[in-house]
Amino acid sequence: MQTDKKLSGRVALIAGASSGIGAATALALVEEGASVVIAARRMPRLEALAERIRERGGEVLPIEADVSDEAQAAAMVERAIGDFGRLDMLLCVAGVGVAAPFRNTTTAEYREMVEVNFLGLLYPIHAALPAMQRQGAGHIVIVSSGTGRYIHPSTVYSGTKHAASAMAESLRREIGRDGIRVTCIEPGAVRTEFTSHMRASVREAVEQRLGDMEQLEAADIAAAIVYAVTQPRRVNVNILTLYPTEQA
């Protein structure tokens, strides 16, 4: 039976799928025919998202996992491949941040940012890469941040995102000959739950800085990701930077 869905038969693992960009991306990929493995630390959120996906006729597997834990990240990838027999796309969306100057960032906060925003990329990629190399194809999508390229005065967060963006480009150059594509997404301000996890004083400063600016929606980033992963195999979309129209 013919289908015009561009990702039919493909399997995508979205790490950090419980809300925001990750959840929106899972829904967008399903609309294009992909089967999705959704992973995050908050299982109730994943179950709710999985139900929405099933209502749309999609195939989904929710997995509770903390990508900053090497063993959990490896088990997540192993389960995805074990259940579906292949892995075509790995989307690393999980991230945390304290958009504050270094002097206002605690050591616990910067440790969490390094562990989630950087090690939380390396662990799942390390686990998924052998399967993609055996397949001779795959696509790794890393959601970094505009602060990874246009540095803002939020030292640790910007540092982790700069590392993520640099790692994405280096990895692309290493594994392109294996038929594996790497895309780095660098969004500006996106309206998600991101600031809700910050300390009140930091959250208030961020909200004041953003003011009444119309921010990007998670669906905007999901659409950019779908664009990247639906290109012909000869095309690697290296970097996509998306900012709100009003953001300087």
How confident is the chain (248 residues) per 10-residue block, as mean pLDDT? 81 97 98 98 97 97 98 98 98 88 88 96 99 98 91 85 97 98 96 65 66 89 98 98 90
β-pairing, 60-64 with 180-187?
A: unpaired
pTM reported for the whole predicted model: 0.91
CB 155 within 8 A of CB 102: yes
Q: What is the DSSP-derived secondary structure letter of residue 206? A: H
Q: Give residues with Cβ within 8 angstroms of 76, minimum separation 6.
A: 13, 15, 37, 39, 63, 65, 67, 124, 127
Q: What is the pLDDT of residue 148?
A: 82
Q: Which fold has domain 11-242?
A: Rossmann fold (3.40.50)
Q: What is the pLDDT of residue 104?
A: 82
**CA-based nearest residue to 140, from 236, 59, 74:** 236
Show which residues are catalytic.
Answer: 157
